[in-house]
């Protein structure tokens, strides 16, 4: 770790302020999406087994095709959960790296910005383009102990 005086520490922290805000907002939004079930999908049971709320059990269109859909949805549930948890984990790892001033934060931050630019296209691309230069700033690289 290189020694930095207080003005360099403040400047480095100031350079990464926007990235910290982006990571907090995106970690909260993607975390809420995961916990609300948006990333997990549904089991497909109510829509496929019943025609409506007042259908009798012998009138329901239960077929082998419906059973295959239910099994497929149940088997793929853990994989969908893991893939939906990757997004908040990226932002949280980036936050931890910035707060602990780790060197892996610069490449991970660039990856986070790329993910933000791709998945949140119009607004994410604008924010990512603005914040990209923050990681290339020599003061922020020195603050994060990143040496090329």
**The pLDDT value given to residue 93:** 95
Q: What percent of the chain has pLDDT over 90?
A: 30
In a domain, 65, yes or no: no
Say what angle helices 17-35 and 64-100 make with each other, to 10 degrees: 160
Tell me whether residue 114 is in a domain. Answer: yes
Query: Is the residue at 53 inside a domain?
Result: no
For residue range 59-88, list pLDDT tens digits in order.
555 555 667 777 777 777 777 777 778 889
> Per the domain annotation, does 56 fall within a domain?
no
Do residues 16 and 138 make contact, with C-beta atoms less than 8 angstroms apart? no
Residue 11 lies in a domain: yes
Query: Does the structure show a pLDDT above 80 at 140?
Result: yes
Domain for residue 134, yes or no? yes
**pLDDT score for 23:** 93
The span from the CA of 144 to the CA of 107, in Å, is 11
Number of domains in the chain: 1
Task: Give residue 105's domain range.
Answer: 6-42+77-143
pLDDT for the residue 43: 46
Q: Is residue 36 part of a domain?
A: yes
Q: Using an 8 Å Cβ cutoff, are 140 and 97 in contact?
A: no
The residue with greater pLDDT, 106 or 73, is 106
Give the side-chain half-sphere CA count within 13 A for 79: 5
- Asked if residue 64 belongs to a domain, the reply is no
| Higher per-residue confidence, 81 vs 147 | 147
């Amino acid at each position: 770790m290189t020694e930095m005086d207080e003005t360099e520490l403040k400047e480095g922290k100031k350079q990464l302020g926007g990235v910290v805000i982006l990571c907090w907002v995106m970690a909260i939004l993607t975390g809420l999406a995961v916990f609300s079930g948006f990333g997990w999908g549904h089991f497909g049971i109510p829509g496929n087994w019943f025609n409506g709320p007042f259908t009798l059990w012998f009138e329901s269109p239960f077929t082998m095709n419906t059973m295959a859909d239910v099994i497929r949805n149940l088997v793929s549930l853990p994989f969908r959960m893991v893939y939906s948890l990757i997004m908040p984990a990226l932002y949280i790892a980036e936050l931890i790296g910035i707060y602990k001033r780790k060197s892996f934060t610069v490449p991970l931050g660039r990856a986070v910005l790329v993910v933000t630019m791709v998945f949140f296209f119009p607004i994410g691309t604008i924010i990512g383009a603005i914040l990209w230069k923050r990681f290339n700033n020599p003061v922020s690289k020195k603050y994060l102990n990143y040496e090329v």
